[in-house]
Structure 1
Amino acid sequence: MRLPAWFAEPAEQSVPEPELRVSTLELFFDLVFVFTVTQLTHVLVTGLETPAPGHPAVTIGESTLRVVLLFGVMWWMYSGYVWLLNSVPPVRPARRVLVLLGMTGFLLMALAIPSTFDGGGPAFAVGYLLLVVVHGALYLQATRAIVRVIPFNLAATALIGAAAFVPAPYDYLLWAAALVLLWGSPYFIGQKGFSLRAAHVVERHGLLVIVVLGESMLAIGIGAADLTVDLGLGLAGALGLCLAACLWWAYFGGDDETAAEHALAAAEPVTRTRMILGAYFYGHIPILLGVVAVSGGIKKVIGHPLDPLKPSAAIMLGLGVALYLAGDFWFRRVLALGQTRVRSLAAAAALVTAAAGLWSAMAQLALLVLVLVTMLAVEHRASRILDA
């Protein structure tokens, strides 16, 4: 992430850092967070379905806006806990209890997500406040720099809480203000004082991407519930698995994790923190939102694989893959990992597949798999030529 010229901090001397691996408690924490991602897929899909009697109609545009706002504020706090446990490993019982308390906040938010904009806002705000308080209290054990962050987190929580008592569309404005406050705060907080271990950050985000991709497989199971398993359903399920596998391969197929770890470890602490902010906070936003959109699209495909998709569903499926590749492109550019041009072309091609979805849902799914397989094959050939 490139910061304004007026923002400058002195470089800190790099020192050897003890190795820190992701703990099982952190994996447990991630599973709770991924439940919130599953709930976001549900919110997104409501914009494609006929509302139940007594429930207000929600357009795809409105459901998309809700997903972006909800994910945006939750991703800020999830990343905050990644940084927290990087600096304050949960090795003591008291720390573990506090982390579990933070998980309770995420669970409360996840349960409130489907109704956050329809009466469930106070529950979401309470869960968010719990996250913020636990995060700040624990982080103070590692660095006083967190004092610069806490006012932004509390102010955003107040805006989210106030939005629960404001009618639409003003509630969306308060949510947007909270999101801008959080995402823009690094420009004012600065990165000095947040020394992060490179290997832990790389491993933690890699494991999160795997778990979130597994959530896309849940979409297949949910979409196929109570359906007879015939040839069409079987092929659609297989193509959905192939699509998820290609997305996995795009992220994990090479030695990029090792290269990313080396690039971060070689940087001095302030520069490393900026690189992590750009690659793993901002860069992973479209990656995870892309998986949410892909999951929603696959859910619609599984139900009627041979039928045409609604334009909004076809665009959502193609856009999901494009977002994932765009985030991966951003992530690689920040860390100078290479193989970015072909991925930008593949992202554009993924958007074009929406036209095929208007003819057949399965045709679009097959084209998306073809685009990704072609991209991976071209990259593999290019890497072999470079190694020769």
Structure 2
Amino acid sequence: MHVDQIPVYVYVIVAVVILALLGFVLLRGPKAPPGGYKSTRDPDDPIPGGAGGDGADGSTDSGAGGAGTTVKEAPSLDRPESVGSRMARLRGRLAKSNNVFGRGLLALLSRDRIDQDVWDEIEETLLLADLGSEASMDLVEALQRRVKVEGTQDPNHVKAMLREELLKLVDPTMDRSLAIDRKDMAPAVVLVVGVNGVGKTTTVGKLARVLVAEDKDVVLGAADTFRAAAADQLQTWGNRVGVVTVRSETEGADPASVAFDAVKTGIESESDVVLLDTAGRLQNKAGLMDQLGKIKRVVGKAADVDEVLLVIDATTGQNGMVQAKVFSEAVNVTGIVLTKLDGTAKGGIVVAIQRALGVPVKLIGLGEGPDDLAPFDAEQFVDALLD
């Protein structure tokens, strides 16, 4: 059949099909990445529902989508270990890692005669455990008073006496609960900060597992956009427990925009908690602190930041104290996460850091396993030291 013999209605049908296909493609827009969507808003677009503004550093606090963020979801799920189960297991690890500290103090206090040389040894043991000079002196003075009155012959009596005084220093009255409850139709927002190398991203992933085990709906925000592997690492943690991860596909994107998108995603999905991972290193300390301040300001346009957790590597000892003070000056730290506590006999860092900042240790990490993170319990901690 020649072309001029093809009926007119065939041309009409072909034209209608082509127009329909073009309309579908145009209406559908750009293809979304696997497992989520990619924001198409421009980095300089104003924040929907709120006015943008200049930050203290002179930069503009851009709104959602500035980093071209993507929401990634998980294909397969793990079931995290329950909090009660991990607490029992971690106590055993803590007792093993700090047994030199506890045994040493008990041995010194159980001597038939305790002279000034023994007290000097006791103070040295406390200082080596990173208890801090002020706390060490307070504990030695309290023990000296009790030894004069009560004596130290009975080992059980010695242990009970030491336990009571150590517990006072650790302070069981501090509120160690996490602010992880929804409020005013918005999720709780937890900002996790700290220098690189302390296990910050890993801590965020492990904390997500803790919350999932408590039946919380969680969103992760990969606001550490300066370390290429950070977002991938965080997404892997999220994938294991079915937690959504909001990230940017552009390395070095605006962390505040990613954080804002994560919170908006949490609001829209009616999640319970949004956990925000942040960078730990920039060219200078001032730049890092300004960035954290900006993240908090931008996120605050969508929902309040309820918790700022500072991650400290327990093996760094007094260096961790310096880090803690710097971060506390930049953001209102509400709690401490001590990682790698199983790798040191310096359990006294708990007391020293609480005294320096006036905020409690809320979580401790005792190993590299996915469920090696648990709420800090003052009594269990002291019992583990003396076990």
Bigger relative contact order (CA 8 A; separation at least 6) = 2
- Higher CA-based Rg: 2
TM beyond 0.5: no
- TM-score of the two chains, using structure 1 as the length reference: 0.22
Comparing both structures, which one devotes a greater share of its residues to strand? 2
- TM-score of the two chains, using structure 2 as the length reference: 0.22
Comparing both structures, which one devotes a greater share of its residues to helix? 1
